[in-house]
Amino acid sequence: MDLSTFEDRFTIRSYEVDKNATVTLPQIANYFQEAAGKHADKLEFDISHLQEKGLTWVLYRMHIKIDQFPRRWEDVAVQTWPSSGDGIRAFRDYELRNSDGNRVGVGVSQWMVLDTKKRRPVRMPKEILDMGLDVENHLLSVEKSSFPKMESTDFRNSITVGRQDLDMNNHANNVKYIEWMISYLPKNGSSAKKCRSINLQYHAECGFGDEITVESQNIGPGKFLHRITKNSGDTLLAEGISEWK
């Protein structure tokens, strides 16, 4: 059986859509995460397999671009595959197809393996690197450049991390960072449009009870720079750019 690629199917539920009855971008990120987890389990390098070795997966960077948002109760499919890494990072591509089989969204994630005791990244195990497809081009370009420095803050929101925000690593799930970045912009800030692209980098974890600050700066028409910090801004948790249309 060829396990190099994996497909998972989802029916969009009523609680996964917005006021326009179309699926939200964070929910698509959840679909991508679920499909990736199932595929990793079949390949026997899921988080549970790594934890047996004192290791775990951490998401380093995520880039999602959506051209069309499927509607409530529509059946969609996610195809995903691990792609060639560089020794420290492992890449994974994602493709979202609607009920007609048309591609409506893509994504690329970059992952690292973390030593759970030292809380530091380690070199990617060879057996994981060997499973990645040797692809010439990813569905989206693999970003390596830094995000621009935030010069000013147009919007700011404070959040307390709750238990419902935590994942199996006992820190905030990576999709929560996407929600925090794009869910609190006022209507006049996002022009009441929909976020069609998010590109973010994760720097540090946060856990239950942490007080975090989400800041956003309008850096162009329908384009926002985001930053999430804790400890009164001393610790950078994540940064990213969203685009709205």
Q: What are the tens digits of pLDDT across the range 27-50? A: 999 999 999 999 988 887 777 777
Residue 207 placed within a domain: yes
Task: Check pLDDT > 80 for residue 190.
Answer: no
* 105 and 28 share one domain: yes
pLDDT value of residue 191: 56
Q: What percent of the chain has pLDDT over 70?
A: 92
**Last residue of one domain, picked from the residues 129, 147, 163:** 129
pLDDT digits (tens, 9 = 90+) for 1-17: 567 889 999 999 999 99
Cα 187 to chain centroid distance, Å, stands at 23
Q: Are residues 92 and 10 in the same domain?
A: yes
Please say whether the beta carbons of 12 and 25 come within 8 A: no
Please indicate, yes or no, if residue 141 is contained in any of the structural domains. no
For residues 175 and 125, state if they share a domain. no
pLDDT given for residue 50 in this prediction: 79
Helix or strand run (H / E) with residue 50 = helix 47-51
Interhelix angle 25-42/174-182, rounded to 10 degrees, is: 170
Per the DSSP assignment, residues forming a β-bridge with 8 are 78
CATH of the domain at 37: 3.10.129.10
Give tens-digit pLDDT for 135-186.
667 889 887 789 999 999 999 999 999 999 999 879 999 999 999 999 988 8
Average pLDDT rounded to a whole number, residues 58-84: 94
- Look at residues 129, 164, 187 and tell me which one is the last residue of a structural domain: 129
Distances (CA, A) of 93 to 44, 76, 81, 144: 18, 17, 6, 16
Domain count, the chain: 2
Mean pLDDT of the chain: 90
Whether residues 218 and 123 share a domain: the answer is no
Residue 203: count other Cβ atoms within 10 Å of its Cβ: 14
pLDDT at residue 135 in the model: 66
Do 19 and 87 belong together in one domain?
A: yes
233 and 189 in a common domain: yes
Residues 122 and 43 occupy one common structural domain = yes
E strands in the chain: 6-11, 55-66, 75-83, 90-97, 103-115, 120-122, 155-160, 195-202, 211-220, 223-230, 235-244
**pLDDT, position 101:** 97
For strand 211-220 and strand 235-244, is the pairing parallel, antiparallel, or unpaired? unpaired
Residues 122 and 202 in one domain: no
| Residue-level pLDDT at 49 | 79
Tell me: do 101 and 161 sit in the same domain.
no
Q: Are residues 20 and 112 in the same domain?
A: yes
Q: Does a structural domain hold residue 33?
A: yes
Q: Is the pLDDT of residue 99 over 70?
A: yes
Cβ proximity of 154 and 199 under 8 Å: no
* Under 8 Å between Cβ of 143 and 62: no
Q: What is the residue range of 197's domain? A: 155-244
Q: Assess whether 198 and 90 both reside in one domain.
A: no
**Quick check: is 144 in a domain?**
no
Q: Which of 61-75, 127-141, 225-239 has the lowest mean pLDDT?
A: 127-141
pLDDT of residue 224 exceeding 90, the answer is yes
Whether residue 166 is contained in a domain is answered as yes
**Predicted local confidence at residue 143, as pLDDT:** 79
91 and 196 co-located in one domain = no
> Is 143 part of a structural domain of the chain?
no
